[in-house]
Amino acid sequence: MYESFYGLKEKPFNLLPDPDYLYMSSGHENLFTHLEYAISENKGFVVITGEVGSGKTTLINYLISKSLSGVEVGLINNTYIAPNQVIKSICREFELNTEGLDRDEMLDLFHNFLIEKYAMSQRVILIFDEAQNLSTKTLEEIRMLSNLEAEKDHLIQIILSGQPELRARLQDSRLKQFVQRITVYCHLSGLSRAEVEKYIKYRLAVAGAKDSGIFVDGAIGMIASYSKGIPRLINLACDAAMVYGYADNKKTIDKSVVEEIIRERSNSGIFTNETNDEQSAVPLATSLPDGQGVSVDRIESLEARIQNLETMFRSIDKRLHSLMNVRDEKDVVVLELFKMLKTSMDNRYESLMNIARTQANIK
């Protein structure tokens, strides 16, 4: 929508983990160095953690996209899997036919696959993304795969990538043997203020921008503060800012544009505490099996957030009236803004309904 207005060939702040847009901050370089070391030295279990939206998946995709000679990589994204389904999911990821096989037979099938690869001097790497969702029993089932070893070498290398909750999960005394097999661990933090500026300019350049100063210093400072250096939140803020800037015919994004975005999203409860909300989602989900339920405060908080979306409606309604006399590109901008709002509303409403249903089941 705004690409031609800002001289871009494509949108620079999409949320999809695109390796072409990977900005290698000092933290990303450190993490990637650890991954390369672990792979080159065949270091068995590797654990990487980072905040929601910090770029872990993008970095993994970048690793996979590189030409890894003699390495076959499997990536499992659906980590809500039962312990008895682990080996089946792994076999399917490596395109092994499991039809009619029980668990022990699938384990033998996968073991033979690893031996064949080892005989061909090929390595096998298995990556679990969003590994904080793996249950304790599932993690123990994964640990058992490490017993599939040759006389002197590991037949498989396993990488767990997840949110900070993964660290807490691994402190479970039942996973002591699992933790003892972790040889490399690294945590990915948010970007610094200087790195946020470089990140924004880097993505603009990749998208074809001739002018690296589309975002002025004040706007970048506000984005860095509110995003806490988390790339996904930076992308959300920057993309919205460019939509607003395009609507107002601004060739540069100044502090006032970002302030407007932050104000509208804060009024709706969508942006300001986004990092904290996402972090709290996992402990909430994992507490349910123990019968602890969901607190009334949590439900009331989410109800209040959905009610506050009315504030966002009123704000955008004012913006709609200000553009009523313009019937071309401005109308497209308004429609896009309403689409963004509806998506946010749907997600929040679905979260509330899931929690309400869970609470009802527990009672």
Question: C-alpha dihedral over 260, 263, 264, 269, to 10 degrees?
Answer: 160
Q: Which of 32-41, 183-192, 197-206, 293-302 has the highest mean pLDDT?
A: 197-206
Under a CB-based contact definition with an 8 Å cutoff, are residues 231 and 55 in contact?
Answer: yes
> Which pTM value belongs to this model?
0.66
How large a percentage of the chain has pLDDT more than 70? 71
* Rounded distance between C-alpha atoms, residue 222 and residue 226, angstroms: 6
The string of pLDDT tens digits covering residues 122-152 is: 889 999 989 999 999 999 999 888 777 655 6
Q: Which domains does the chain have, with CATH numbers?
A: 26-188 (3.40.50.300), 191-362 (no CATH)
Other Cβ atoms within 10 Å of 276 Cβ, number: 10
Burial class (CB in 10 A: 0-12, 13-18, 19+), 164: middle
pLDDT of residue 191: 94
Residue 236 CA to residue 363 CA, distance in Å, equals 38
Task: Name the least confident of 133-142, 200-209, 338-347.
Answer: 338-347
User: 328 exposed, middle or buried (CB, 10 Å; 0-12, 13-18, 19+)?
Assistant: exposed
pLDDT at residue number 356: 57
Please give the pLDDT value at position 270: 55
| Residue 264: how many other CB atoms lie within 10 Å | 20
Tens of pLDDT, residue by residue over 157-178, are 899 999 999 998 898 889 999 9
Radius of gyration of the chain (CA): 23
Long-range contacts of 167-171 (CB under 8 A, 24+ apart): 167/49, 169/132, 169/134, 169/136, 169/139, 170/47, 170/139
Residue 207, pLDDT > 90, answer yes
Q: What is the pLDDT of residues 282-314, one digit of tens each?
A: 333 333 333 333 344 444 444 444 444 444 554
Residue owning tokens 């942006």: 271
Average pLDDT, stretch 172-201?
92
Poorest-confidence range of 68-77, 203-212, 225-234, 284-293? 284-293
Contact indicator for 268, 311 with CB cutoff of 8 Å: yes
pLDDT of res. 346: 60
H helices of the chain, in order, are 26-40, 56-65, 86-93, 103-119, 136-145, 165-169, 176-180, 193-206, 217-227, 231-247, 255-268, 274-287, 296-322, 329-362
Q: 224 pLDDT exceeds 50?
A: yes
Nearest to 280 by CA among 77, 55, 52: 52
In whole numbers, what is the pLDDT of the chain averaged over residues?
Answer: 78
Which DSSP string do the residues of 296-350 spell out, in sequence order?
HHHHHHHHHHHHHHHHHHHHHHHHHHHTTT--SHHHHHHHHHHHHHHHHHHHHHH
pLDDT of residue 357: 58
**For the residues 320-334, what does the mean pLDDT come to?**
52
**Each residue of 14-63: pLDDT tens digit?**
888 787 888 999 999 998 888 888 887 877 789 999 988 888 878 877 77
Residue 336 has pLDDT above 70, yes or no: no
CB burial of 194-229 (b: ≥16 within 10 Å; e: otherwise) equals ebbbebbbbbbebbebeeeebbeeebbbbbbebbbb
- pLDDT of 81 higher than 80: yes
* Nearest partner of 262 among 228, 291, 285, judged by Cα: 228
